[in-house]
């Protein structure tokens, strides 16, 4: 009989952990295991659940799992027990787990917070935090069909290249689960239509097409092998959930690599939101900042408000405030002044697509920040998962740039700000030439110019 697993706590691998174990139930010997997917999950195999208590301010009882695979276990941890670590010196926090059969004590100068769940697969459908309502309302949307997932992407309830990619994979899975087809062959035309609908949502983020292509390749393989529709449904969902796990693991790896590039203390500017809300958790650019803070670096974040959708003012500030990381929001046209005053020591941003030569497409306004950083001798870093790199696109000139609705510029909070009939230009992204990029931070390592060579070399190593 398989023993249930109790998830005790998920912490960063660099934290020193002391286990103090005693046995009240002699029938079962505890076995400490580390999850191979995340690499930093500390689990205790036992037959009963305990409870968490952190300075009397955070309490949660772990639920019993029946882990069918390490990936399934990691997914459960990500959804319900994933914790972030934030520095709070000088007091030392005492964290203990108490149960009838053992105790766990961890002493370290951090506080723990739950990871933001940008999206998650549930029995009801795909659950999204509604980013259009943040920061004043924390509400959630359930998408129960692929068309609803497409709408969630278009309306920017969910946004950020990595999150969009996994959302599309979940949307395809939903479509497969809800089909009226009886066989794989009968479902094939519908599958193609579902992929086309999701591919038409937003053109710039290459992660969207990467995820869809991965699902297409899986479906083609299953179809060629004569898989039943039930097998196809199961495999598509498993792969979408794997993408979810992989994204969080990639963000944590980027955070570890990028933390070394951040200043020991000082200001770090970021543009738009490349945090947990733009990914499945932890974040890319904000993951780098989190990684630096976890290592004891004294970082003060300057967040561009990021007109016209205000991702920096609304989302980045909300995330970092929740983590207790010092944050100041500034208007987009204030960055140069702060750089000249010496208040910015580094810039780190995310990306929606990186061309083979290192040109970077990111939220509109990134290009001007890169130019300003170059002028002031400030390093400009880009953090993005490998799925954001599009080696099929030679340069940034070939990256399609999405044009958003004029109302994002003409209106705010339901109130019109501009004269009737005035022309509006609202590109969602711009392209920063590779010459302005100091380094690209990925889960595989750090890339430096010439990017066409280093990208190719890292791709060959990965194979």
**What is the DSSP code (8-state) at residue 58?**
B
Average pLDDT for consecutive 10-residue bins of the chain (463 residues)? 30 28 28 31 30 29 32 40 30 31 32 71 96 94 97 96 97 97 98 98 94 98 97 98 96 96 98 97 97 96 96 97 95 97 98 97 98 98 97 96 94 92 96 98 97 93 76
Render 400-463 in DSSP notation, one character per residue: --PBPPTHHHHEETTEE-S-TT-----BSEEEE-GGG-SEEEETTEEE-SSHHHHHHHHHHHH-
Question: For the chain, what is the mean pLDDT?
Answer: 80
Q: Write down the pLDDT at residue 113.
A: 55
Nearest to 47 by CA among 76, 26, 74, 71: 26
Indicate where the chain has its CATH 3.40.50.10470 domain(s): 254-413+423-462
Cα–Cα distance, 372 to 375 (Å, whole number): 5
Indicate where the chain has its CATH 1.20.120.420 domain(s): 119-251
Instruction: Kindly report, residue by residue over 391-424, the tens digit of the pLDDT.
Output: 999 999 999 999 999 999 999 888 999 999 999 9
Instruction: Kindly report, residue by residue over 133-152, the tens digit of the pLDDT.
Output: 999 999 999 999 999 999 99
Q: Write down the pLDDT at residue 462.
A: 74
Tell me which CATH code domain 254-413+423-462 carries.
3.40.50.10470
Kindly report the CA angle at 5 between 4 and 8, in degrees rounded to 5? 150
Cα–Cα distance, 351 to 345 (Å, whole number): 20
How many other C-beta atoms can be found within 10 angstroms of the C-beta atom of residue 178? 14
| 119-251 fold | 1.20.120
Task: Catalytic residue, from 352, 359, 390, 430: name it.
Answer: 352
Identify whether 352 is a catalytic site residue. yes
Q: Using DSSP bridges, classify how beta strands 126-129 and 140-143 pair: parallel, antiparallel or unpaired.
A: antiparallel
């Amino acid at each position: 009989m398989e023993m249930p697993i109790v998830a005790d706590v998920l912490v960063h691998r660099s934290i020193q952990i002391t286990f103090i174990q005693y046995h009240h139930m002699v029938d079962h010997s505890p076995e400490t295991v580390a999850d191979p997917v995340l690499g930093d999950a500390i689990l205790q195999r036992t037959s009963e659940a305990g409870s968490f208590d952190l300075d009397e301010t955070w309490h949660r009882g772990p639920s019993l799992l029946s882990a069918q695979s390490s990936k399934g276990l990691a997914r459960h941890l990500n959804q319900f027990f994933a914790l972030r670590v934030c520095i709070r010196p000088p007091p030392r926090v005492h964290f203990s787990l108490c149960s009838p059969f053992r105790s766990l004590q961890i002493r370290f100068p951090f506080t723990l917070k739950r990871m933001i769940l940008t999206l998650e697969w549930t029995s009801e459908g795909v659950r999204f935090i509604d980013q259009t309502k943040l920061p004043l309302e924390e509400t959630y949307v359930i998408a129960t069909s692929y068309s609803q997932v497409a709408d969630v992407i278009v309306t920017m309830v969910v946004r950020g290249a990595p999150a969009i990619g996994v959302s599309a994979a979940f949307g395809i899975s939903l479509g497969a689960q809800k089909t009226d087809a009886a066989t794989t062959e009968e479902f094939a035309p519908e599958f193609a239509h579902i992929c086309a609908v999701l591919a038409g949502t937003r053109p710039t983020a290459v992660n969207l097409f990467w995820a869809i292509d991965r699902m297409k390749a899986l479906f083609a393989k299953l179809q060629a092998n004569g898989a039943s529709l039930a097998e196809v449904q199961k495999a598509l969902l498993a792969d979408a959930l794997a993408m979810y796990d992989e994204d969080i693991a990639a963000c944590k790896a980027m955070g570890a690599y990028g933390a070394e590039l951040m200043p020991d203390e000082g200001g770090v500017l970021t543009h738009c939101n490349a945090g947990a809300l733009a990914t499945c958790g932890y974040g890319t650019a904000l993951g780098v900042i989190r990684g630096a803070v976890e290592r004891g670096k004294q970082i003060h974040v300057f967040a561009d408000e990021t007109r016209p959708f205000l991702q920096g003012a609304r989302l980045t500030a909300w995330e970092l405030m929740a983590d207790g990381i010092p944050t100041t929001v500034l208007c987009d046209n204030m960055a140069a002044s702060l750089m000249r005053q010496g208040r910015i020591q580094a810039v780190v941003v995310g990306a929606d697509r990186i061309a083979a030569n290192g040109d970077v497409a990111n939220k509109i306004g990134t290009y001007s920040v890169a130019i300003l950083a170059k002028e002031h001798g400030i390093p400009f870093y880009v953090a993005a998962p490998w799925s954001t790199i599009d080696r099929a696109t030679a340069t940034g000139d070939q990256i399609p740039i999405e044009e958003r609705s004029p109302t994002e510029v003409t209106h705010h909070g339901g109130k019109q700000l501009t004269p009737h009939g005035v022309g509006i230009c609202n590109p969602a992204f711009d392209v920063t030439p590779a010459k302005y990029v100091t380094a690209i931070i990925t889960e595989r390592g750090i890339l430096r110019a010439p990017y066409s060579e280093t990208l190719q070399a890292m791709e060959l190593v990965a194979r």
